[in-house]
Chains A and B, each alone.
Chain A
């Protein structure tokens, strides 16, 4: 009995410290959450339910969700959101490379003076070469070279901190202000990007126009085949990993789905529209490969699914690469014809096809030096040197060192970054869309979060907007739970 009293007192004391937080939690999280859940099942619409028209809000059951699933726009915006998420593996790769570069020892040590002088000489030579090359904008060349010189000298003297700070600026300042900055950078007529591209394109246009049509076709075809090759090889490696017991069935299937996506996507996007009926062949081949392997069974059965995070990231990166290649192959295909009339730089965020890549380029600018890079830096400093020494004794090449020592040692961090990336990615895109594109052109950059905002705060369909936000939440939750379930070898150690 006394024990219970003490327990009770402990709870009281413990909870009393929580009180301010709990009050806030109730008022601004839990209660709104319940209201939102209720709203999702009502026809609450500000057009019909306001102080002038006093219609009662009625309970409509699953009507909002039914409407959501039958609305074409919803799938389009979901697709946009998922498309933007391709920047996650690209961003992870960027931050990892940045972290690896930063963590290697590049300080001059006693060679500081030597290094500084080399940098200075190179700077002068660089300036001279560019000025003599007749780029015209002399002042700007000197400006950029000077900047480069300052960076390299301070970097080689100051070491990691200097570069790390410079890398981190874009991420740290990312917000409305920098989005407005990029809007101006992307300006089709007066933006610095197009000012730089126009003379460049004018210089190469005659050369490109001279390329025979067949040359462009062959190049584009080569790129398309390269995509097919990369994806099929990826699927093959995937089956091999499963055969050797290094990954589980989920990894095999997820990986193969990921790798088939560029192949399936290719049909309407490939420049070779007359051959588009053949587009089913590569994906079919990939799945036959998977089926055959599944039929043969595996050599070494292993534990439940390991390495799912690896599979998702690597396949995601391959997928992103393939989509870039696909876009490029289209560009290459039409290039000679376009170049004949003179090349024009893209209209970036004002162009339907370029808007998404534009925002992703900006996202990449902010993602290289992000928190993820700092996490990787910390992770890399924790990798034991003995492992590398052992790898050296075994005669591992640089790439082998990376795949067999560095990557597995960083798996923990990668997994964390992936989960956070997916959660943020699904809910992301609002600020960019609101600041730079208003979701356009023609809804090319409308993500689900921007959709919820416009439905809820502009159109006033509160019930429907709540339903969309719950659908988004369900999606986030299921992906995260899936990841925890199958990716948890990293977190249970």
Chain B
């Protein structure tokens, strides 16, 4: 009996915390289903669920929601692809090849993780102006495409792949590229998946760089679009919340399906330093 009571108490505590943590999301979804007249009322529940709000967001004047969605996905996909590719190459060099000065160079890489992005932001912006890349997709993608964190994450994983494989490949006369492409990369799949989710999610939500880089609504990514929405037509809370829901829900879905990889990745990126 004592144990059962303890179990129940523990469950209640956890459920209270969990419920209060997700209450804002519940309010968000319920508000997104209200009519504009109901928005200011105390009751959370709409009289009727107005699902058409979601479709209406796409038809709003000056709110290019579908465009922002696509921009975000487009930019995040490119950045993710480039990040995963370049950092897996670098990680391969740092973990599976022996060369003089390797560890020193790696330390330098780690050090750049500590640099505040803010320091580089202003000169990067000036450079983008000089190159004529402001308000272009290339300007959004390129500076974000290289990551020390990703290199670090991949290296941690590749270090744990047995050495014997390299020797076997060597005996078979494989080149270093073949070793990378045909042996190490396929074995690093879990880390690749993790890094893909991380960098996709991170760039999907990234705010600072798109904020300074985009000038016209056609180039906005979702976060910048949401800012624009909030500042120009934020009074239409029901539509705003529908837009917020639509930008949050994909992340929740990704998380629910990918959480095993994510949890592993978070461990990989930190404790086993």
* A interface residue numbers (CB < 8 A to B): 7, 10-11, 13-15, 17-18, 20-21, 24-25, 27-29, 31-33, 35-36, 39, 98, 101-102, 104, 106, 108, 111, 114-115, 118-119, 122, 137, 139-140, 143-144, 147-148, 151-152, 155-156, 161, 163-170, 172-173, 175-178, 180-185, 189-190, 192, 195, 365, 368-369, 371, 374-375, 378-379, 412-413, 416, 420, 423, 426-427, 430-431, 434-435, 449, 452-453, 456-457, 462, 465-466, 469-470, 472-473, 476-477, 480, 491
Give, as a whole number of angstroms, the nearest-CB distance from A201 to chain B.
14
Tell whether, in the assembled complex, residue B122 and residue A469 are in contact, meaning their CB atoms are under 8 Å apart: yes
Residue of B whose beta carbon sits closest to that of A172:
B255
Residue of B whose beta carbon sits closest to that of A98:
B17
Give, as a whole number of angstroms, the nearest-CB distance from A43 to chain B.
14
Tell whether, in the assembled complex, residue B267 and residue A375 are in contact, meaning their CB atoms are under 8 Å apart: yes
Tell whether, in the assembled complex, residue B266 and residue A375 are in contact, meaning their CB atoms are under 8 Å apart: yes
Can you list 23 A-B pairs with a CB-CB distance of less than 8 A?
A11-B100, A14-B93, A15-B93, A24-B145, A27-B142, A102-B14, A118-B8, A147-B26, A151-B15, A152-B14, A163-B15, A169-B21, A172-B252, A173-B251, A176-B227, A180-B227, A180-B230, A182-B24, A368-B21, A374-B266, A375-B267, A431-B208, A469-B118
- Known contacts: A190-B39, A465-B122. The answer to whether A166 contacts B18 by CB under 8 A is yes
Whole-angstrom CA separation of A11 from B101 in the bound complex: 8
Determine the chain A residues whose CB is within 8 A of the CB of B176 once the complex forms: 13, 17
Determine the chain B residues whose CB is within 8 A of the CB of A163 once the complex forms: 14-15, 18
Give, as a whole number of angstroms, the nearest-CB distance from A194 to chain B.
9
Determine the chain A residues whose CB is within 8 A of the CB of B248 once the complex forms: 173, 177-178, 181
Whole-angstrom CA separation of A27 from B122 in the bound complex: 14
Contact partner of B21 (CB less than 8 A), chosen from A36, A166, A185, A190, is A166
Interface string of B30-65 (1 = CB under 8 A from A): 010000000110111100000000000000000000
Interface centre among B12, B85, B117, B142 (most CB of A within 10 A): B12
Contact partner of A165 (CB less than 8 A), chosen from B27, B90, B259, is B259
- Known contacts: A101-B13, A175-B223, A177-B247. The answer to whether A29 contacts B115 by CB under 8 A is yes
Tell whether, in the assembled complex, residue A140 and residue B270 are in contact, meaning their CB atoms are under 8 Å apart: no
Determine the chain A residues whose CB is within 8 A of the CB of B11 once the complex forms: 106, 115, 119, 152, 155-156
Whole-angstrom CA separation of A365 from B22 in the bound complex: 10
Tell whether, in the assembled complex, residue B21 and residue A167 are in contact, meaning their CB atoms are under 8 Å apart: yes
Determine the chain A residues whose CB is within 8 A of the CB of B117 once the complex forms: 427
Whole-angstrom CA separation of A137 from B42 in the bound complex: 9
B69: Cβ under 8 A from any A Cβ = no
B171: Cβ under 8 A from any A Cβ = no
Tell whether, in the assembled complex, residue B120 and residue A36 are in contact, meaning their CB atoms are under 8 Å apart: yes
Give, as a whole number of angstroms, the nearest-CB distance from B21 to chain A.
6
Tell whether, in the assembled complex, residue B21 and residue A28 are in contact, meaning their CB atoms are under 8 Å apart: no
Tell whether, in the assembled complex, residue A28 and residue B211 are in contact, meaning their CB atoms are under 8 Å apart: no
Contact partner of B226 (CB less than 8 A), chosen from A108, A176, A190, A452, is A176
Closest 7 CB pairs of A and B: A24-B146, A14-B99, A17-B93, A152-B15, A32-B123, A175-B205, A35-B123
Give, as a whole number of angstroms, the nearest-CB distance from B6 to chain A.
9
Whole-angstrom CA separation of A207 from B119 in the bound complex: 54
Determine the chain B residues whose CB is within 8 A of the CB of A416 once the complex forms: 270-271, 273
Whole-angstrom CA separation of A127 from B40 in the bound complex: 26
